[in-house]
Structure 1
Amino acid sequence: MQNETISHTILKANGESLEWMEDTVVREVPLTIHFNSEEIATLLCSPSQTKELALGFLFNEGFIRVPEDVYDYRHDPVDHMVWVEGKPCVLQKELMSKRFVSACCGKSRASFCFANDAMMVKPLTSTSTISLQEAYYYAKYLQSHLPLFKATGGIHSGGVGWKGQVLMTSFDIGRHNVFDKLSGEAFERTLNLENHVIFFSGRVSSEILLKVAKMNVTILIARGAPTDMALSQAAALNITVIGFAREQRLNIYTCPERVIP
C-alpha cells in the first residue's frame, strides 16, 4: 500500500476551524504499453499489478488470446514502460485505429465503436446462477477487505468470485483498469471465467459492460448504477447486471433468472 499512496499536507476545514494535517493521497502514473515494438497505448493507472494490467488490456483489445501468444514481458518501473513480445497480430493496426459501427447482436442499433468489439463480443450462453446471499457477500467484500479506498477515497476496486469464494481482486484509479487487471490475472492463470462472477465498486457504463462480455462473464455485481446503453447491451449479450448492491439490498436489471432467492 505504501507504493500506492503518498502523504500530502492539507488544510482541513471543520465548520469554522482550520487545521493543517497530513493526508493520504492515491498515486497516479502513466503506463505505456508496447506490443512487438509498436507503441499501443498509454494508460493512466495505479502503480500496482502492472503485468496483469498490460496483459489484460492486450487480451481485451484482441492482441493476444492465450498465454502461448506471449513470448516475453519487460517492465521499466522508473519510466513506466512495458514491452510485450508475442505472436504477430495480423490486425494489429486495425484493432487500435479502425472505427466500426455495427448492430449489436442483430438488434439494428449502433453499439460497437471499434472493430475489436464487434469481432470479439458475442451473446454468452452460460447458465450459471448465484444466490442472493452470495451476491450480498461479494458486494460487501470490497468494503471490508480492501482498505485502500477507506484510506484515500480515490480508487475503484473489483474482484472475481466463484461459488462464494473470492479468487482474485484488483484496484486502480481507473475503473477500466480494474477489469483489465482481473482479465490479465485470469489470462496468466489460464482461468476460464465463464461460470464466474465479477463484482465492482463503480457504475456500469457500456464500456464496462463490453469488457465483462470479452471476459466471458455472465454475472456482474456493481455498487453503482448502470446506464441505459449498458443495459441494452447486457440484454442482447445475455449478461445479468446487478446494481446498487449494498449490504442486503440490490437491483437486478437484466437476465434475473440467474439470481436465486
Structure 2
Amino acid sequence: MPNDTVTHSILKAKGPLLAWEEDTVVQEVPLTIHYNREEIATLLCSPSQTEELVYGFLLNEGFIRFPEDVYEIRHDPLDHLVWVEGKPCLLQKELMSKRFVSACCGKSRASFCFANDVLMVKPLTSTHSIPLQEAYAYGDFLQSHLPLFQSTGGVHSGGVGYEGEVLLTSYDIGRHNVFDKLSGSAFHSGLSLENHVIFFSGRVSSEILLKVAKMKVPILIARGAPTDLALSQATALNITVVGFAREQRLNIYTCAERIIV
C-alpha cells in the first residue's frame, strides 16, 4: 500500500516564537490513464486506491458499463501510469480526447456540457428514506474516522452507507476522485448503490452532484455547503442533498421527504 504522506521541515510560528519542526503533508501525484493504448486523461490524485479510481473514472465517463468490460489493468506506480485494455468504446475520442482533470474538479460546468453526462444522467426513482439520526451519524463518521485528515488537513473523504452501516470509504486530495473511488469500489464488487447513502467531507458543486447522479445514489450527505446549480440539478434529478452535517445539525436542501424523524 502506498505511503500517502511525506515529511517536510517547516518553520512554525506561534505568537512571537519561531521553531523548526517536522510536518506531515499529503502526497499528490499525476496519474495518466491509457485506455486501449490511447491516453485519455491525467488525474491529480492521492496514490492510494488506484484501481478503484480507474474503474470509477472509466465508469462515470462512459467508457465501460460492466466489470467484464475491463480485460486488464496494468499500473506503474513509479511513473504513475495506468494502461487499461477493455471493450472497445466507439465514442472514445468524443468522450475524452485527452482531457486534463485537476484535483479541484477541473473546468466548472454551467450545465450538462459533456455528451456522456446527457446520456448517463437520468432522474432517480428511488423512494428510499433514512432516519434523521442515521443522517447525523454519517455526518459525524468522517470527523471521527479520519486519521489522515487529522494529521495533514489535506484530503477529502467520503463513504457509502446502508441502514446505518458504513460499507465503503475513500479519501483523496481531489473531491471528484473520492466519488470515483467509491464508485469503482462498488462497481468492482457488484454492489448496487440505488438505495444507499453517500456521505462526503466537502462542499457539493454541480460536478459532485453529477457524480452522485451517475452512481444512482438518492441521498448525499455533506459536511460542506452546496452551490445553487448543484441544488437545481438535484431537484431536477430527484436527489436529496444534505449540507452542513455535523454535531447533530444539518440542512436538508432538496427532496426532504427522504429524511424522516
Give the corresponding residue for 1:34. 34
Give the corresponding residue for 2:106. none
The amino acid across from 1:169 in the alignment is T
Give the corresponding residue for 2:47. 47
Distance 1:89 1:242 in 2: 36
Give the corresponding residue for 2:81. 81
- Structure 2 residue matching 1:111: 3-state secondary structure: coil
- Structure 2 residue matching 1:199: 3-state secondary structure: strand
Q: Deviations over 1:116-164 (max 9, x none)?
A: 0000000000110011110111111111112100000000000000000
Shift of 1:3: 0.2
The amino acid across from 2:185 in the alignment is E
Shift of 1:111: 2.1
Give the corresponding residue for 1:147. 147
Give the corresponding residue for 1:106. none
Query: How many residues are matched?
Result: 250
What stretches of structure 2 of length at least 5 have no aligned partner?
99-109
Give the corresponding residue for 2:223. 223
In the superposition, the TM-score normalised over structure 1's length comes to 0.94
Shift of 1:2: 7.1
Shift of 1:90: 1.1
Distance 1:257 1:114 in 2: 31
- Indicate conservation of the 8 Å contact 2:31/2:44, yes or no: yes
The amino acid across from 1:65 in the alignment is R
Q: What is the 5 A alignment of 1:45-194?
A: 45-97=45-97, 111-194=111-194
Cα root mean square deviation, aligned: 1.2
Q: What is the 5 A alignment of 1:201-220?
A: 201-220=201-220
Matched, 1:247 2:254: no
Shift of 1:97: 4.6
In the superposition, the TM-score normalised over structure 2's length comes to 0.94
- Structure 1 residue matching 2:62: 3-state secondary structure: coil
What stretches of structure 1 of length at least 5 have no aligned partner?
99-109
Q: Percent identity?
A: 79
Distance 1:167 1:235 in 2: 26
Give the corresponding residue for 1:10. 10
Q: Deviations over 1:56-110 (max 9, x none)?
A: 0000000001101011111000100011111111111111159xxxxxxxxxxx7
